[in-house]
Every structure is written in C-alpha cells, then in structure tokens.
Amino acid sequence: MLRLGAVTYLNARPLVFGLGARAGRFSLRFDVPSTCSALLSERSIDVGLIPSIEYLQRPDYRIVPDVAIASQHAVASVALFTNRPVSEIRTIATDASSRTSIMLLRVLCARRFHIAPHLEAMPPDLPAMLERCDATLLIGDPALFVDHAAMGLQKIDFGEEWRAMTGLPFVYAFWAGWPGVLTAVDVAWLRDAKGAGAAHVEEVAREYFGADKEKAAIGARYLRENVSFDLGEAERDGLQRFYSYAAELGFVPSIQELRFY
C-alpha cells in the first residue's frame, strides 16, 4: 500500500478524484500543506502534495511529472486582504499553513509592491487578523469565500500579481516523494486521476460541499476558471523563476534542479 498525503482544500480534490478505483494500491489522508510536508519529511507518508517551496529543502525528493496545483492568471484562493493602499502596509497577518504562499508574499512584497512589512502568523480568522495587522494573507477555502467587497476590503490576488510580474503561471503544490517509491504504473495512475478530476469538476465540488449548492457552484467555477492542474513547460519555467527570486532575495539558500520520477 502506497501512503499518499493530500491537502484538505478544494483545489486538491481533482487530483485524487480518480484514485477510488486504485484503493488497493493507495491509502490517502488529508492535511494542511505544511503538515503534508512534515509527514513526508519524517517518512510517515511515501508521497505528498507538498507546497512547491518545500522541494528546495529536500533535493532528494522526486516529482510526479505533469501534475500540479497551479494558476495561469487569477487564482482566487491565495490573496492579500486590506483596507489601505499597498504602499501603506507595514504589518501582515499570515496563515502559516502553506509556506509557498508566504514565500510568494515575501517575493511579491520585495519585487512588485516594494514594501518590507513585518509578518505575523495567526489562525485564519480575517476579522481578528485585520484587528492586529494592516493586511492579511489567506489561502485555500477561507480566501475563496470571503465577501471582501461587503467588508470594504481590497483583494489582491497573488496569481494575478505573479502573472503581471513574470508573464508565467505559478505552481503552488505538486506530488513529491522519496526516490524509488513509485513505479511507472503508479505515476500513470496519478496522472490519470488528475485527468479524471479535471474533467469532472462539478462532481468534485458537489462531493466536497455536500448539500450546499451555492458553494458547490462557486467551487466548480473556481476549479474550471482559476486552477490548472498541469506541470508543463510553462509551469516549470514559472517554478524555476519563483525559486530564482527566492534565492536572489536570500530567502532560500540555493536552487535545486527539478528531478522527476
């Protein structure tokens, strides 16, 4: 049995949608992104859907080809919320469950917004975060369903900002694991599962949200329009650009070559 660790958020569900038929081969658990990384590092799982920045910490990992959680333009589920101009932001409350989003925030602050705010990790409670800080970073479902206009807030979409800055997609997460744990057949099954999920986003959203038809409709539109699931040449270029920026700014020690199963 191959132990997979996936992310709790909606955007990960298409990647595992087609794995039900492979229950004899894969066991599956769901956690926040940072926990997936920790479980993989300690070998409590064999393959994890890890935040893309975590790969730089473990160059011995291998990546499942052609599968990712990425965005081509606006992503909707990774964003900064504030009620003041970006140039006036001095403190940002962050949801610490995804290190990739925090690293992307640091890169955007340095290279696009030209600010150097203090970051403070807090639970993802938007009103409480904004009471304490000038802006807040939310990720996943909490960011997707915030009615920022009703709250008088500006929503700064990180997928949109990255695209405007680089002209490239952004890769938030991908399957990675220890060398030798996946066979060629396993890799093919994970790629097929992605294809099945991407082709059935309405069903994925209905299963995820249950009886809440309004959220299911919003979720299906999000999976169709905001999230992409490929790790092609453009996505790899975006990933390498992200790593390069993080290294140039001194946030990570070095850039690692992408190694695939």
pLDDT tens readout for residues 30-89: 998 889 999 999 999 999 999 999 999 888 999 999 999 999 999 999 999 999 999 999
Q: What is the dihedral of CA 221, 235, 32, 245, to 10 degrees?
A: -130
What would the mean pLDDT of 100-112 be, rounded to a whole number?
A: 97
The model's confidence at residue 94, banded by pLDDT at 50, 70 and 90, is: very high
CATH number for the domain formed by residue range(s) 2-69+169-240: 3.40.190.10
> What sign does the CA torsion over 126, 107, 156, 63 have?
negative
In CATH, the architecture of 78-166 is 3-Layer(aba) Sandwich (3.40)
Q: What is the Cα–Cα distance from 6 to 190, expressed in whole angstroms?
A: 12
Q: What digits encode the pLDDT tens for the residues 13-26? A: 999 998 876 778 99
Residues 6+ apart with CB under 8 A from 182: 2, 46, 47, 62, 64, 190, 261
What would the mean pLDDT of 171-200 be, rounded to a whole number?
A: 96
Strand, helix or coil for residue 137:
strand
Q: What digits encode the pLDDT tens for the residues 211-253? A: 999 999 999 999 999 999 999 999 999 999 999 999 999 999 8
- Tell me if 2-69+169-240 shares its fold with 78-166: yes
Domain range annotation of the chain: 2-69+169-240, 78-166
Could you count the other beta carbons within 10 Å of the beta carbon of residue 42?
8
